[in-house]
């Protein structure tokens, strides 16, 4: 198979990524990029929450109420000590004490209930945003051009969808409520501390600026480790996808490379373990220092309070108890804010990787004035002086196609033949705009394909390739991929036309038979005929057969060839052929060599010319 899988396409696609073991282009760019700017990322992250404004507003209100309530109990504690337990009269005031204790209990119950409601809302909003982000990323990747997928490992793409989006789940779910709640709590606690004693407040916060600076340094380190961790996860996902697919397992068993594949996975796994440990340990000394600092403050406050009392400052026992209680309540929200700041810095690397893919612009897309395919010239395909060079090929490299021109009339059966790597498959990829020409024009129904709406264009084109892809689903589900609303009668009609109905009904589950991963439970000929039936359900105007029988045995080839003859009736059919015996009846045969059309004519005319086609025909002993 030429083009993408031969010298013309696969080689260039492979070189762009450094071969099968190479990393994706986006990851390489990320290595060279500067650290993401937190304000820009916060703005983009914030935009993700816009569709959930109502729930978010309720959440913020609940957070504000909860945060406000959290600083009332310490103030009530001071009143309980000074007015209830140890009033000026010298005897406990039970009515006041009962009233204050009751109020405290009500506050705690209310705070707990609000906390449960708040948790539900934040979990709902956070997971909804994460799900929408994942779908948005998936949909964007669906719109990317074919060249993107030829240079990027499937496992790397899967990792972006799963590991990267999953890695920011906690930030999306908890950041807003944590930041707002902890900020309000810290401010309220700070105000309460000032009300109780401004002198003690200075002692409690004197080292906080140092902690903030240290937090930023730790966050930068964690962000770098997080980037490396996600890249390692991407590589592990890619190895898993390659090695544990049916094709990968067959290849490993065929060459007894199971141990090598396990060693490759083990090496990356060791790297991942090391990075995970580094990520979890980074900042631990920082938080240990913070905890020690916040833990010893009460003891320092006792000393300072004693010094103040000795100096004549009126500091009551209730004030000291209430102050240390507020300061203790300040510890957790302060640690929470520091952790959120670290998480944001760490997650910035993941968000940068996600937004990097979302910012990719598909090189093949509808123009603003694109129009549907016109019905009056359906079936006409023409190349007008087409030059094509693969997107990742060096600018000074030779073009895959060089000034190719031809016209195919409606209903014609034409074939493209030539040496491997000559550019035959590339021709077929340019018609449905899987790639765009470098210069020249591809015309469909008389219109430049770049002026047509992609969906409208592809709706009129059916492709049967050598590498048939079937989903791990039933035969019926695979067939309905072309026409989701197809009836059972339509499925049967398509299957009969493709010479596969009798085989299908011979299976115990008939059309409900699960074909297995990539259809491995079926033979090559059976898979190919199901693919033909699927195309027949689509009912395209132009049918492209890309070496559809080259990998089959002679019996399967005859069955598939008969199905293809049925499928091509009444349609413009373009066959990319390696076996010349399959196209001897073509209306026109185009011979491609070196990226150019060097011959054209019928089978007999080309044999009589005695040039490239005649040599190929003789080499195959046809």
Give the per-residue pLDDT at 283.
64
Angle between helix 94-142 and 53-70 (nearest 10): 150
Q: Is the pLDDT of residue 17 over 60?
A: no
Give the per-residue pLDDT at 248.
67
> pLDDT tens digits, residue range 163-179?
777 777 766 766 666 77
Q: Is the pLDDT of residue 549 over 90?
A: no
**Mean pLDDT across 180-186:** 72
Residues 344 and 472 in one domain: no
Q: Is the pLDDT of residue 1 over 50?
A: no
Domain range spanning residue 310?
A: 49-358
The answer to whether position 131 is within a domain reads yes
The answer to whether position 317 is within a domain reads yes
CA distance 376 to 392: 37
Does an H or E element contain 465, and which?
strand 461-465
Smallest CA-to-CA distance from 519 within 464, 463, 465, 467 is with 467
Does an H or E element contain 463, and which?
strand 461-465
> pLDDT tens digits, residue range 106-133?
888 888 888 788 778 877 887 888 888 8
Query: What CATH number does the domain containing 490 carry?
Result: 3.40.50.300
Residues 147 and 266 in one domain: yes
Q: Give the mean pLDDT of the chain.
A: 77
Three-state SS for 447? strand
**Mean pLDDT across 324-344:** 71
The answer to whether position 485 is within a domain reads yes
Sheet of 439-444, strands arranged across: 401-408, 381-388, 439-444, 447-448
Last residue of a domain, one of 358, 392, 419: 358
The answer to whether position 290 is within a domain reads yes
Would you tell me how many other CB atoms lie within 10 Å of the CB of residue 591? 24
The answer to whether position 576 is within a domain reads no
Give the per-residue pLDDT at 416.
92
> pLDDT tens digits, residue range 90-106?
777 788 888 888 888 88
Query: What CATH number does the domain containing 200 carry?
Result: 1.20.1560.10
Residues 350 and 470 in one domain: no
> pLDDT tens digits, residue range 554-604?
666 677 777 777 777 778 889 888 888 878 888 999 998 888 889 899 999
**Mean pLDDT across 404-412:** 90
Residues 344 and 473 in one domain: no
Q: How far is CA 512 from CA 266, 383, 432, 476, 533, in A?
A: 39, 43, 32, 6, 16
> pLDDT tens digits, residue range 373-382?
887 667 889 9
CA distance 355 to 352: 5
Last residue of a domain, one of 484, 511, 539: 539
The answer to whether position 237 is within a domain reads yes
Q: Is the pLDDT of residue 85 over 80?
A: no
CA distance 205 to 140: 48
> pLDDT tens digits, residue range 18-50?
333 344 444 444 443 444 555 676 778 778 888
> pLDDT tens digits, residue range 430-486?
999 988 998 999 999 888 999 999 888 988 888 888 777 888 888 898 898 888 888
Q: How far is CA 523 from CA 439, 518, 555, in A?
A: 41, 11, 12
Domain count, the chain: 2
**Mean pLDDT across 6-24:** 37
Does an H or E element contain 154, and which?
helix 154-159
The answer to whether position 384 is within a domain reads no
The answer to whether position 364 is within a domain reads no
Q: Residue 221's pLDDT band (boundaries 50, 70, 90)?
A: confident
Last residue of a domain, one of 478, 513, 539: 539
Residues 87 and 209 in one domain: yes
């Amino acid at each position: 198979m030429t083009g993408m899988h031969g010298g013309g396409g696969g080689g260039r696609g492979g070189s762009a990524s450094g071969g099968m073991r190479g990393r994706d282009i986006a990851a390489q760019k990320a290595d060279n990029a500067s650290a993401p700017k937190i304000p820009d990322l916060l703005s983009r992250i914030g935009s993700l929450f816009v569709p959930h404004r109502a729930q978010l507003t309720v959440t913020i209100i609940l957070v504000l109420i909860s945060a406000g309530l959290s600083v009332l109990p310490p103030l009530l504690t001071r009143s309980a000590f000074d007015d209830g337990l140890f009033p000026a009269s010298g005897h406990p005031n039970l009515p006041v004490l009962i009233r204050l204790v009751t109020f405290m209990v009500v506050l705690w119950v209310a705070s707990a209930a609000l906390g449960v409601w708040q948790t539900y809302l934040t979990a709902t909003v956070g997971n909804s945003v994460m799900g929408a982000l994942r779908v948005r990323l998936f949909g964007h990747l669906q719109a990317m051009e074919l060249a993107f997928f030829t240079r990027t490992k499937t496992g790397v793409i899967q990792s972006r969808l799963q590991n990267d989006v999953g890695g920011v789940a906690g930030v999306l779910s908890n950041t807003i409520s944590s930041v707002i709640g902890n900020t309000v709590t810290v401010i309220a606690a700070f105000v309460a501390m000032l009300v109780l004693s401004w002198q003690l407040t200075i002692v409690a916060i004197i080292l906080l600026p140092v902690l903030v600076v240290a937090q930023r340094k730790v966050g930068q380190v964690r962000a770098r480790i997080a980037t490396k961790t996600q890249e390692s996860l991407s590589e592990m996902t890619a190895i898993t996808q390659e090695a544990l697919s049916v094709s990968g397992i067959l290849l490993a068993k065929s060459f007894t490379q199971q141990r090598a594949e396990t060693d490759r996975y083990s090496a990356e796994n060791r790297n991942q373990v090391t990075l995970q440990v580094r990520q979890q340990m980074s900042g631990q000394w920082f938080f240990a220092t913070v905890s020690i600092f916040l833990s010893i403050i009460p003891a320092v406050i006792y000393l300072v309070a004693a010094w103040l009392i000795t100096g004549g400052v009126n500091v009551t026992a209730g004030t000291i108890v209430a102050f240390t209680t507020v300061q203790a309540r300040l510890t957790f929200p302060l640690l929470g804010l520091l952790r959120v700041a670290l998480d944001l810095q760490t997650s910035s690397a993941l968000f940068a990787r996600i937004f990097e893919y979302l910012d990719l612009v598909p090189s093949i897309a509808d123009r603003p004035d694109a129009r549907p395919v016109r019905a009056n010239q359906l079936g006409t395909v023409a190349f007008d002086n087409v030059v094509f060079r693969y997107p990742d090929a060096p600018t000074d490299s030779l073009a895959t196609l060089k000034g190719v021109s031809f016209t195919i009339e409606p209903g014609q059966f034409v074939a493209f033949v030539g040496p491997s790597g000559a550019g035959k498959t590339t021709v077929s990829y340019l018609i449905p705009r899987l790639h765009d020409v470098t210069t020249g024009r591809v015309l469909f129904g008389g219109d430049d394909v770049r002026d047509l709406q992609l969906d409208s264009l592809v709706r009129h084109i059916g492709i049967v390739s050598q590498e048939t892809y079937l989903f791990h689903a039933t035969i019926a589900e695979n067939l309905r991929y072309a026409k989701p609303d197809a009836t059972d009668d339509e499925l049967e009609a398509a299957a009969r036309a493709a010479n596969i109905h009798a085989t299908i009904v011979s299976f115990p589950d008939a059309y409900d038979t699960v074909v297995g991963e990539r259809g491995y439970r079926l033979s090559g000929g059976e898979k190919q005929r199901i693919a033909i039936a699927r195309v027949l359900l689509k009912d395209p105007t132009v049918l492209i057969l890309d070496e559809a029988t080259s990998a089959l045995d002679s019996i399967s080839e005859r069955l598939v060839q008969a199905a293809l003859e049925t499928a091509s009736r009444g349609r413009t059919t373009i066959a990319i052929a390696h076996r010349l015996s399959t196209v001897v009846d073509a209306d026109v045969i185009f011979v491609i060599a070196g990226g150019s059309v060097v011959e054209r004519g019928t089978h007999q005319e080309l044999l009589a010319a005695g040039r490239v086609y005649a040599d190929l025909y003789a080499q195959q002993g046809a």
